[in-house]
Amino acid sequence: MKKIVCLLSTALCFGTLTGMVKADTLKYVNSSSDIGPYHMQLNGENVGLFCLDDFRDITVGESWQVDVVSGDQFYTTNTHSTNFKYEEEAYIYSKLGDKDSHGHTYTNTDVQEALWSIFDHNADTNKWAEDLVSKAGDFHYTTSFLDDYSFYLPTSWPHGFGQPQDMIGDAPDPSQPPTAPAPEPSTLLLLGTGLMGAAGAVRRKVAVRISNR
């Protein structure tokens, strides 16, 4: 058993997680927009993830240590617990690309805004994101459902610019070979333009402005 302390926006501790976890290196490579999925690398292997915390910024090239935790480690029936919020995040993420009863396909924007709103009830959300949040609160969770998803939880918050993100993605498929990492951009390309911070930052407030245009 390993105890993991996660500092959320209100410095909540979500408790003790059972099962195997390990520290890995997660790096933000780039993104085609200011919402997920973000192009990340886990120990050098490509992975697409959504972020869960709209209070933090990360920039291209930034990396941090994470514990990769299977979603079933958050299983709970206590709907007032922090673990339940992670269950809701798993449900919301699972609906990406699905259609609702009215024929609407849940988009990246719908899912990202809903994910942000779980830990930030004041987050701006469109009606489809609100629908996802409502359904997540009523969903009947099981460990077999939750173990299809993995959470990438920072092991610490370093001092200085930026703060690492909680992320969510599909659980690794052991039958599939790892994805080859993309070539790294040169240092001159990253540092020469001066635009990396503006274009590469994952900023929820920017994403909201863009999505509402």
Three-class SS of residue 120? coil
Q: What angle do CA 200, 204, 209 make, to 5 degrees?
A: 100
d(CA 212, CA 161): 28
- 66 phi and psi angles, rounded to 5 deg: -135, 155
DSSP β-bridge partners for residue 168:
50, 151
Can you give the pTM of this predicted structure? Answer: 0.72
**Tens of pLDDT, residue by residue, the chain (213 residues):** 233 333 333 333 334 444 445 589 999 999 888 889 999 999 999 999 999 987 777 889 999 999 999 999 999 999 999 999 999 999 999 999 999 999 999 999 999 999 999 998 888 899 999 999 999 999 999 999 999 999 999 987 655 445 678 999 998 765 555 555 445 444 334 444 444 444 444 444 433 333 333
